[in-house]
Amino acid sequence: MRLFILVFLLHVTLIAGPKNKLYQLYQEGNYKKACRLGMNNYPQYTRDETFISLYAFSCLKADYIDRLAVPISALKYSKEARSNAAYFSIILMQKKLLYHALIDHYDISMLNLPTTQHVLSKVFDYYTKDTNNKDSNIFHYTDTNDKRITYKLYIETHPHIKKMVIEVFHDKILFARHLYW
């Protein structure tokens, strides 16, 4: 009997551990670690939407956009989860489309997708609305809400892969640099 209780308690602590840790890492702003922890412990929490949502937001903040694919498929049981899944899928799709358009000169100007406040969505919107020559290598956009914020979009060539770079400038000072591939 004692053994059984011990096994039960051990099981409970093992299950509760990663969730607490994930929340803690998220609160600390350690998004990369939180995303990795969420990904490693995902099989234990396939139906726990709180855990999956937190894991997904961590990955989004860490700029690991491709890793959102797993939470997108898992978030489906509650209204909030479905709304978040739609939010993540738009960002993931816009990333993939923009990357495809920049490298292969694929025309996405006719697309009118829903948008978000994420930097990828903003740049995607500016790119699709941009009527200028799409053959140029670097694109500069100014934020419509705040003219002091500007975006620079270009492709960086690495030894084995081309990477999409989005640089955010605030008063011409580099504020953030996002790298996607």
Partner 1 sequence: MLNVQELERQWFRYKLKSYIPKIALFTLLVILSIIVLLFFLDSNSSSNNSSHISKVSSTPTPVSEEKKSVTKKTSATSTPVPLHQEEAVAVKKKMNIQERLVLQPSLNFINSLQYMPEESVQKPLEKKALTKEALIKKPTTTKESELKIVEHKNIKPVIEKNTQLEPEKDALVLVSQKIAPHTNFTINVQEEETDIQDVIKRFHNNKNTKLSLFVAKRFYALKKYKYAYNYALMTNNLNSDIEESWLIAAKSLSKLNKKDKAISLLTQYIDNTKSVQATMLLEQIKNGSL
Contact residues toward partner 1 (CB under 8 A) are: 1, 4, 19-20, 23-24, 27-29, 46-47, 49-50, 53-54, 57, 76, 80-81, 83-84, 86-87, 90, 112, 114-117, 170-171, 173, 175-176
Q: Return the ∠ at Cα 137 (arms to 94 and 108), rounded to 5°.
A: 35
Q: What secondary structure does DSSP assign to 71-86, as a single string?
A: HHHH--SSHHHHHHHH
The dihedral through the CA atoms of 110, 113, 116, 119 has a sign that is negative
Min. distance of Cβ 46 from partner 1 in angstroms? 6
Label residue 131 exposed, middle or buried (CB < 10 Å: 0-12, 13-18, 19+): exposed
> Looking at beta carbons only, is 36 or 53 nearer to partner 1?
53
> Looking at beta carbons only, is 50 or 139 nearer to partner 1?
50
Min. distance of Cβ 62 from partner 1 in angstroms? 12
Min. distance of Cβ 52 from partner 1 in angstroms? 9
> Looking at beta carbons only, is 154 or 169 nearer to partner 1?
169
141's CB contacts (< 8 A; 6+ apart) are 123, 126, 127, 130, 150, 151, 153
Min. distance of Cβ 88 from partner 1 in angstroms? 8
> Looking at beta carbons only, is 39 or 155 nearer to partner 1?
39
Q: What secondary structure does DSSP assign to 48-63, as a single string?
A: -HHHHHHHHHHHHHTT
Look up residue 34 and give its two tokens.
Answer: 């939180």
> Looking at beta carbons only, is 14 or 86 nearer to partner 1?
86
Min. distance of Cβ 159 from partner 1 in angstroms? 28
Q: How far apart (Å, rounded) are the C-alpha atoms in residues 106 and 104?
A: 5
